[in-house]
Structure 1
Amino acid sequence: MSSLLNGTRRKSNSESDSISMDLEGDQSITQKMVKFDLSDNLTDESDGGSYYNGVKRRTANARFSRTSQEMEKGSFSFENMNLLDNFKNKGFGQKFRRTKSLYGVMPNCKFGPCGSILDDSATSLTIPDPGSQKLNWNKPPLTVLVIKKMYDENALSAFTQLVKWLIQEKHMVVYVEKAVLDDAICTGNPVCQELQKKIKTFEEEKDELTNKIDFVICLGGDGTLLYASSLFQASMPPVMAFNMGSLGFLTPFNFQGYREQVTQVLEGNAGLLLRYRLKCVICRKDSHISKIPHVKQIQRSHSTVQSKTHMLVFNEVVVDRGQSPYLCNIDLYVEGKLVTTVQGDGLIISTPTGSTAYAVAAGASMVHPNVPAIVITPICPHSLSFRPVVVPAGVEIKIMVSPEARNSAWVSLDGRNRQEIFEGDSVRITTAQYPVPSVCAKDQMDDWFESLAECLHWNVRKPQKPMPGLVESPSNNSMTGNSDSS
């Protein structure tokens, strides 16, 4: 039986809304109305028997599927979040690992008897639920970029095994950086020499990879993932990172089970963590690009914008005093307004991912990568009250050398492309529209907290020993709020 579902939203006297669905097709149920209440089970307004209950189940499953597809395409709005959670709690969509959304609760936008928030649907947020971000291949991936840590003999064996398996078993076209094959440890390896005939090479800043690569695999430490990000200054393919470095905060996979793990990803059975990047543009004095109102509107096609002054940054933008003996004196603007003047060693503007890198060493809070935000952290400020702050992801941050500064400043982007800025120059930063889609080993939350514990030893201390024979007195109970009122 073919059914057409027309969903209309109905107001009820209770706080929860109802979804009415008119079933058309079979004459025996054409005029029957199914009501799905957000707080109740599926109920019908007339007796329909087991046949009608089956229709209700198929109807709900169809609505869940459509709602899930809207979410994955980015058209799923906050309004439908509770509806989707309710479907999941009722047993629909078991393919989703999480039963609740990672969104916060929807705020009640009625303020007292008369007040409410102004409806502005043009700027409403319609991003996918972070907990339900799954990899989907529109077509089977054919090309893979393998990035190996340079000058590392330990990664060479894994590199040759992986490349050989991808070519022979998965029949994929493998790209490798030319510098990796020219490395002395690779040129002296016979297996690596044999593989050179079957792989394609590229050179950084010479070859464009954006439309050539379907999938990226990193073998190394966190630096390999940063390097992979720098190669794709627009849309980036999904990246899977194997830990072969020193820290491994951003590389959640172990190489031992690489065959099963890579196969799962190639089949689309993987969660994604979208790691925000920053769009950074360095505008020189009297350049016409400095007159563009917002950095979001600045494109790489502008004639005065070159690759080293217009970049997508994975971790952080750092402005510091360089080798000068004087304090760094720079003005910080947020959305065009001067908010403070920084006097110290410098300033760090970081992504949530970068909050656990240089920023955390400078005293910033660690922010989960799914949180849309920008972290502003001073470096050794000459002020005890200058604390790190977190601002919304969509703001434009502008940094300029103060007119009262005794020296210039230096800018580095993810530790690279270091260049000097002078009075009148500006560094303009906002969140980029192209994140890094990082494949999860477990899921978005477990991977992050495991990295905090294993790599940064977050909150590691010897546990306090219990005190033998300690008897709680009434005074102790009252202090802990457990006293018996009787």
Structure 2
Amino acid sequence: NLQPQWLPDMEPDPAELRRSDVSAGSVLVSPKSVLVIKKIRDASLLQPFKELCVFLTEVKDMIVYVEKKVLDDPAISGDESFGPVTKKFCTFREDLDDISNRVDFIICLGGDGTLLYASSLFQDSVPPVMGFHLGSLGFLTPFQFDAFQSQVTQIIEGNAAIILRSRLKVQVFKENWEKKDGSDEKNIVLANGGVKASRPAVQYQVLNDVVVDRGPSSYLSNVDLFLDGHLITTVQGDGLIVSTPTGSTAYAVAAGASMIHPNVPAIMITPICPHSLSFRPIVVPAGVELKITLSQDARNTAWVSFDGRKRQEICHGDSISITTSCFPVPSICFRDPVNDWFESLGECLHWNVRKKQNHLGAEDEDF
């Protein structure tokens, strides 16, 4: 169930109530607050950021949340004309402040990496995300900033469709886990600071992919892959990519995987340079539980990253558990889920671009 469930004796948060009906194809209802995510240290985004924030605060009278490190940029903190606007902001710090119940929707200024970062800030339910293409690729950011005022107004008024992009729930279990900060050894420490009772683990929500590779070692990566408790294969090569349908058009497609539409409930498993002529990428149903461990006779450790972040070493006795998360990312469509996806395939990846064959003329039919 993708909708928040309220306990009878709890007062539901207004922000959650406004998002509680978010599902595939649905629209926002009377959003009051917005989180603006801007790519850090990118001078080309300063003017769009300022224009957007002035529009949201002064024209739309919305509560705007911004990361504190964004406002620490001298080009922003030193702009006296922008000072009155920044005083209206609500600020937060990554990994320290929980804003999950305060934000109605998110606006990203940057590229696909900026949207992945926005996803990582929310380890439970995610507000709908509107991505403006101000980065290098833009597969996940279908909106152009030139018409941002009319486009944002359409979203605020509820005139937009939403596609649910599935995420992966990943737990990393460490054999040699060190007890820190007085935490009990049976706790799962969540990425947002929460705690659940279980054996030692760190948990992540991943929008694109989990990548296991050989790291700095010159030896083959040698890892075992389990599906619902059964060993299905041993990966011998540079590594393994486990991706969502959204992530199938990222690292996975570069490694030879098929591209999967985000509406398809699936998990893609793609080997990286396998030392085998017959090891092809496979698609398994969403909801299965995958487990990755070092093979008993592996010559070296492995390394794992989550959407390109939080990179860490995997040693003998450690394991990585992966399944479909119950907290997808509601992504706001420019047109609709099908047209947006094929538009991105053509514009960003130049899918099936080829000079068309000339038709046969009457004088050519005899040849």
Fold in common (TM above 0.5): yes
Q: CA RMSD in A?
A: 2.4
Tell me the distance in 2 between the aligned counterparts of 1:207 and 1:129: 26
1:136-162 deviation line (CA, Å, top 9, x unaligned): 42xx22111000111122211111111
Residue 243 of structure 2 corresponds to 350
Counterparts in 2 of 1:354-433, with a 5 A limit? 354-433=247-326
Residues 109-167 of structure 1, C-alpha deviations (whole Å, 9 max, x = no match): xxxxxxxxxxxxxxxxxxx995xx12142xx2211100011112221111111111111
Q: Deviation of residue 305 (structure 1)?
A: 5.0
The 2-side partners of 1:406 and 1:436 are apart by 38
* Per-residue deviation, residues 247-267 of structure 1 (Å, max 9, x unmatched): 111000011211111111112
Of 172, 190, 203, the residue aligned with 2:93 is 203
CA distance 1:325–1:335, change in 2 (3 Å): same
Q: CA deviation at 1:183?
A: 1.6
Separation of aligned partners in 1, 2:78 and 2:358: 56
Q: Does 1:262 align with 2:160?
A: no
Q: Name the residue aligned to 1:234.
A: 124
Q: Deviations over 1:75-103 (max 9, x none)?
A: xxxxxxxxxxxxxxxxxxxxxxxxxxxxx
Amino acid at match of 2:133: N
SS at match of 2:107: strand
Q: How many Å apart are 1:472 and its aligned residue?
A: 5.0
Q: Could you tell me how far apart the structure 2 residues matched to 1:452 and 1:392 are?
A: 23
Match of 2:26 in 1: 134
Contact kept, 8 Å, 2:267 with 2:284, in 1: the verdict is yes
Which amino acid in structure 1 is aligned with residue 301 of structure 2? Answer: S
- Give the equivalent residue in structure 1 for 2:341: 448
Deviations 1:151-204 (A, max 9, x none): 122211111111111111111111101111112332343343332211111110
Distance, in Å, in 1 between the alignment partners of 2:164 and 2:49 is 26
CA contact (8 A) 1:300 1:310 kept: no
Q: CA separation in 1, counterparts of 2:256 and 2:131? A: 27
Find the counterpart in structure 2 of residue 160 from structure 1: 50
**What secondary structure is seen at the aligned counterpart in 2 of 1:463?**
coil
- Equivalent residue, structure 2, for 1:220: 110
> Matched residue of 1:219: which SS?
strand
- Tell me which structure has the larger Cα radius of gyration: 1
Q: 2:215 aligned with 1:322, yes or no?
A: yes
SS in 1 for 2:362: coil
Structure 1 residue 430: Cα displacement? 0.3
- CA distance in 2: counterparts of 1:463 and 1:236, whole angstroms: 43
Conservation of the 8 A alpha-carbon contact between 1:277 and 1:435: yes
Q: Aligned AA for 1:420?
A: E
Paired residues, number: 337
Unmatched 5+ residue regions in structure 1? 1-71, 75-127, 293-298, 477-486
Q: What SS class does the counterpart of residue 301 from structure 1 fall into? A: strand
Deviation at 1:419, TM superposition (A): 0.8
Name the structure, 1 or 2, with higher relative contact order (CA <8 Å, separation 6+). Answer: 2
Letter in 1 for 2:26: K
SS at match of 2:196: coil
How has the CA–CA distance of structure 1 residues 254 and 407 changed in structure 2, closer, same or farther, with 3 Å as cutoff? same
What SS does structure 2 have at the residue aligned with 1:242?
Answer: strand
Contact 2:111 2:133 survives alignment (8 Å): yes
Identity score, percent: 58
Cα deviation, residue 468, structure 1: 3.2
In structure 2, give the amino acid aligned to 1:301.
K
User: Is residue 187 of structure 2 the alignment partner of residue 187 of structure 1?
Assistant: no
Cα distance in 1 for residues equivalent to 2:310 and 2:222: 21
Q: Write the distance in 1 (CA, Å) between the matches of 2:99 and 2:320.
A: 27
Matched residues in 2 for 1:129 and 1:153: separation?
35
- For the residues of structure 1 that align with 2:208 and 2:229, how far apart are their CA atoms? 23
Look up the equivalent residue of 2:57 and give its one-letter code. I
8 Å contact kept, 1:249–1:455 = yes
How far, CA to CA, are the matches of 1:286 and 1:422 in structure 2? 9
